[in-house]
Amino acid sequence: MPYETTTPEQMEAILASAEDAARELLRSTREQRAGYLRAAADALDAAADLLVPIAQRETSLPEPRLRGELKRTTFQLRLFAEVVTDGRYLDARIDRADPDWPMGAPRPDLRRTQFPLGPVAVFSASNFPFAFSVAGGDSASALAAGCPVVVKAHSGHLELSAETARIVSTALHAAGAPKGIFAIVFGTEAGRSLILDPRIKAAGFTGSIAGGRALFDLAQSRAEPIPFFGELGSNNPVFVTEAADRERGEQIAEQFVASFTLGSGQFCTKPGALFVPRGSRILEALRRIDLPAGAPMLNDRIREGYLSSVDELRSHGAAPLVSGSEPEGAAPSPALYISTAEAVLADPHAMLAECFGPSSLVVEYEREDQLPLLAAALEGQLTAAVHAEAGCQVRALVDTLIVKAGRVLWNEWPTGVSVTHAQQHGGPYPASTSSSSTSVGTAAIARFLRPVAFQGFPQELLPDELRERPLRPVPRMVDGQ
Amino acid sequence: MPYETTTPEQMEAILASAEDAARELLRSTREQRAGYLRAAADALDAAADLLVPIAQRETSLPEPRLRGELKRTTFQLRLFAEVVTDGRYLDARIDRADPDWPMGAPRPDLRRTQFPLGPVAVFSASNFPFAFSVAGGDSASALAAGCPVVVKAHSGHLELSAETARIVSTALHAAGAPKGIFAIVFGTEAGRSLILDPRIKAAGFTGSIAGGRALFDLAQSRAEPIPFFGELGSNNPVFVTEAADRERGEQIAEQFVASFTLGSGQFCTKPGALFVPRGSRILEALRRIDLPAGAPMLNDRIREGYLSSVDELRSHGAAPLVSGSEPEGAAPSPALYISTAEAVLADPHAMLAECFGPSSLVVEYEREDQLPLLAAALEGQLTAAVHAEAGCQVRALVDTLIVKAGRVLWNEWPTGVSVTHAQQHGGPYPASTSSSSTSVGTAAIARFLRPVAFQGFPQELLPDELRERPLRPVPRMVDGQ
């Protein structure tokens, strides 16, 4: 095996170096950090022809998807460079001294901005070898915040991880970043040591509920517990009203199949349940549609997990929608199952568990007023979607979904998570371990920051953004305005 | 005992009602919630002559302090009403659909705002019977966010807690708030059930490291872990340079004594260590100053804790600064101890442990360049202060303190925590369990909020603040601007 487990000695050197880099980064300017991010993006774009074939070989994902994902990844790095330059993320606040502050005591001069947490551990994902991996969202937002990053490589794409880390490290150093700003470690035991090391001050994770919870528990068991930003599992249910079924049943059926089979269903936002009225046009259409052929999955462990979660669903009474097409073998076929609202309400945890792969469950309901009840039975979700017609009575359903999910969609599909300012990728547990934060979009930078207030400080010792005459001004709240 | 432990049946009714209230609050307007907060503030102000004598009897704190604290408390409720009305706290973001979004795929219409987490448990403090208790900062910020509050009363002021809760509940209901918006429970076992109940979605705590860590561990052990905002312990060290000692030694000594003995040292921001140059004027002055007389402490448990932590400090070699005056009895006297930088560096954990009461440790250093080393040995702190002259070489010290503390002060004292927009009360563990948030100041509202993104939603189903033509406009980021 070419990527040997990181030894304790290597780990010690990496962490000592990351700690040094954290100190140096405290003195870096926002412009410098934006430069680091752009340098990493440029280097990765330039290395596409090297990296994509390795990714293809290691993950079985098709080339156009991988090229698109790499583009998304470098776009993301550059978008965070803009965020850092802009400076609004600092939420800078200045309260000047006020002898008449109505609290009952004079207000001192207080000025507040954000500082990086320190070295961050990033546990990368199997299913996005670029965008949620070595140089993915967690790394981009941590670097943007000014935190050194130590990535735990995913076993599903070791060579790609090593090569990506090499390219990113080289680019960061060429751009003048401190030596220990970026490193990668290999092996499960290295991951455990990483999360338990007192020099690591936060962690990002994308993966399964079981794996994420185990690392979360380690992070919280430390003498100094640390924030653990885990993006775990989600069913991403889709609710279709009677009117929408009548008006667009055929179209919804086609879009649903495209969404749940996209990338062989290996997305955390794959729709895992479609709630339709009994006797729907959608169901009729689904029975006629030929599902796409099976394709190789990311790796054997994921293939086996997929087959066993399909078995689990069947053991709870879900029946194949079209008889005969059971997934099996090296390239398991997509599969659709059917059940009822009653069965789902009887055991929502089992019936709406995440099934990572190209399957989904059609759930027939009797009456539309069951939908809010079904929504109330959900665990935390990354996404929840409603397909309805304008003017429909769906307020109660939407109100319930807002409580359950980080992103709610209207007549759209959850796969395809745009990297934007208003994106929210995260949700109540078990969708994520930190529902107040996002792992996609520019708001993710907040994860790795910590506010510090300066009281009565002389101008020359304040961070630039808090001075009366800053060299690089940022938007600020001054005296509450 | 007049305030009996809350029974499991009572607890069930309280939590069921809080869950209902959470649903109702989701539909409340910001104006309504601001009204609830103002109504609670008005009712508490009107009840001062009832509440203050109860507080005096239960906590032994003097009347002027308690009247001032009540004023701070109602000011705080009204300040959060302003924050809610203003709406900036929502961090509303709108990304309109963009077919040419450079990520490589069209950007859908995404709109993001904040929603309340749900019912919040508030574990109130012994030492601020108003400001960090039933109607204190955690309750104010949770209510402002739209979360129902269930307070666990502190055993040190049960009658005051019950009366405060009665007045707040009555005022909230009169102002039209939903029935279950506010409740109080009594007893350690009730506190445990509260933190473990799946209907509770977050917790605030102010108290000791041991007590806070036990509740933190329970919160993280749940099937659905929840955010636990604990403000635990802090030493609040103060570093004095040679020049400052020369210029203002006498004055610093007087201010130091006033700060560490204020309120019998029963503040989480009491300065627990003063680093001074060997042979300082400060030390000379301190040996001459008569410390104030002892006063009754908040309760017996705190008095015993104070005496035993003083013993602990002495057992590690700290010597009384003036011989003879050992704290003891029902109203233990203030006490000052002395040690060296060397001894502190040998066991910083023991020498700089929080000692809750009117004692502090003077630490003599040999050379000013030891100060950054001493700072680096600190655990996480709520505050750290520097007393220095303009133009001094203290950059390395300040840089280290920024990493260790939530608030850094320049020639000021940590006691007295102003409630403002730029305040930060919190710091790396064990100062708090969530260094990215604050328990004092308007930024505290962020603790109890969770973002939700709406994708492709029709105007009439969006929250007002995300519509193209909002009725109650708030500042927003639109298309990144």
* Nearest chain A residue (CA) to B409: A455
A412 to chain B nearest CA, in Å?
A: 7
CB within 8 Å: B455 and A408: yes
Helices (H) and strands (E) in chain B, counts: 15, 16
Cis ω for the linkage preceding B64 (within 30 of 0): no
What is the rounded average pLDDT of the residues A5-18?
Answer: 97
Q: So what's the pLDDT on residue A2?
A: 61
**What is the maximum span of chain A, computed from C-alpha positions, in angstroms?**
80
Residue range B457-478, pLDDT digits in tens: 999 999 999 999 999 999 999 9
Question: In what helix (H) or strand (E) does residue A353 lie, and over which residues does it extend?
Answer: none
- Answer yes or no: A268 catalytic: yes
pLDDT at res. B325: 67
Is A79 in contact with A423 (CB distance < 8 Å)?
A: no
Lowest mean pLDDT segment, chosen from A314-318, B324-328, B351-355: B324-328
Question: Cβ contacts of residue A76 below 8 Å, gap of 6+?
Answer: A131, A136, A137, A140, A419, B103
Spot the catalytic one: A242, A268, A354, A379. A268
Averaged pLDDT for residues A309-336: 89
Query: Which band of pLDDT confidence, cut at 50, 70 and 90, is reported for residue B2?
Result: low
Give residue B446's pLDDT. 98
* pTM beyond cutoff 0.90: yes
So what's the pLDDT on residue A320?
94
Q: What DSSP line would sit under A423-435, residue for residue?
A: -----TTTTBS-T
- Asked if the model's pLDDT at residue B386 lies above 80, the reply is yes
Contact list in B for residue A461 (CB cut-off 8 A) is: 394-395, 398, 410
Pairing of the two strands A359-365 and B238-240 = unpaired
Given B93, B104, B118, which is nearest A421 (Cβ)? B93
Residues A147-163: pLDDT tens digits? 999 999 999 999 999 99
C-alpha torsion sign, points A207, A208, A211, A212: positive
Classified as helix, coil or strand, B229 is: strand
Rg (CA), chain A: 24
Q: Collect all residues with Cβ–Cβ distance below 8 Å to A198 and sequence separation of at least 6.
A: A222, A223, A224
Does position A234 have pLDDT exceeding 70, yes or no? yes
Is B457 in the A-facing interface, judged by CB distances under 8 Å?
yes
Model pLDDT for residues A94-123, shown as the tens digit of each residue? 999 999 999 999 999 999 999 999 999 999
Query: Using CA atoms, how far apart are residues A340 and A361, in angstroms rounded to an integer?
Result: 10
Task: Inspect the interface and report whether the beta carbons of A112 and B412 lie closer than 8 Å.
Answer: no
Nearest 5°: phi and psi at A222? -60, 155
Average confidence (pLDDT) over A14-39: 97
Q: How confident is the model at residue A3 (pLDDT cuts 50, 70, 90)?
A: confident
pLDDT of residue A125: 96
> Residue A455 is inside which H or E element, if any?
strand A449-455
Task: Decide if B360 contacts B283 (C-beta within 8 A).
Answer: no
Q: What is the mean pLDDT of chain B?
A: 96
pLDDT one-digit tens code per residue, A370-388? 999 999 999 999 999 999 9
B216 touching A, CB under 8 A? yes
pLDDT digits (tens, 9 = 90+) for B250-260: 999 999 999 99
Distance CA B34, CA A10 (A): 55
ipTM, two decimals, is 0.98
Proportion of chain B above pLDDT 70, given as a percent: 99
Q: How confident is the model at residue A324 (pLDDT cuts 50, 70, 90)?
A: low
- Please give the pLDDT value at position B388: 97
Strand partners, B238: B274, B385
Question: Quick one: pLDDT band at residue A132, thresholds 50, 70, 90?
Answer: very high
pLDDT bracket for residue A332 (50, 70, 90): very high
Between CA B384 and CA B371 the distance in angstroms is 12
List all residues of chain B from 256 to 285 with a beta carbon under 8 Å from chain A. none
What pLDDT, on a 0 to 100 scale, did the predictor assign at position B322?
82
Rounded to 5°, the CA angle A258-A262-A267 comes to 130
Q: CB atoms < 10 A from the CB of A286, how many?
A: 25
User: What is the mean pLDDT of the segment spanning B396-403?
Assistant: 96
**Dihedral pair phi/psi, residue B297, rounded to 5°:** -90, 180
DSSP conformational letter for A269: T
CA distance B96 to B143: 32
Contact A418 B94 (CB under 8 A): no
Mean pLDDT of all residues in B61-76: 97
Please check the confidence at residue B1 and state whether its pLDDT lies above 60: no
Q: Is A231 a catalytic residue?
A: yes
B112 contacts: CB under 8 Å, gap ≥ 6: A421, A422, A423, A424, A443, B91, B92, B93, B94, B451, B452, B453, B454, B466
Mean pLDDT of B182-200: 98
B88 shares contact with chain A (CB less than 8 Å)? yes
Q: Is B89 helix (H, G, I), strand (E, B) or coil?
A: helix
Three-state secondary structure call for residue B306: helix
Residue B183 forms beta bridges with which residues? B150
What is the 8-class DSSP label of residue A29?
Answer: -
Interface contact A101, partner B, CB < 8 A: yes
* Structure token digits, residue B355: 């000692």
Touching A: B residues 292-331, CB under 8 Å: none
Distance CA B433, CA B382 (A): 11
What would you report as the CA-atom Rg of chain B, rounded to the nearest whole angstrom? 24
Number of residues in chain B: 481
Q: What does the CA dihedral A34, A36, A41, A45 come to, rounded to 10 degrees?
A: 140
CB contact under 8 A, A71 and B103: yes
Closest CA to A196 of A246, A152, A166: A152
Is the pLDDT at A1 greater than 60? The verdict is no
Which is it for strands A381-387 and A319-320: parallel, antiparallel or unpaired?
Answer: unpaired
Q: What is the pLDDT of residues B427-440, one digit of tens each?
A: 999 999 999 999 99
> Of B72, B422, B461, which is closest to A112 when you measure between CB atoms?
B422
Mind telling me how many Å the CA of A67 is from chain B's nearest CA? 10
Are B350 and B377 spatial neighbours (Cβ–Cβ below 8 Å)? Answer: no
Interface residue B393 vs chain A (CB under 8 A): no
Residues of A in contact with B72 (CB under 8 A): 103-105
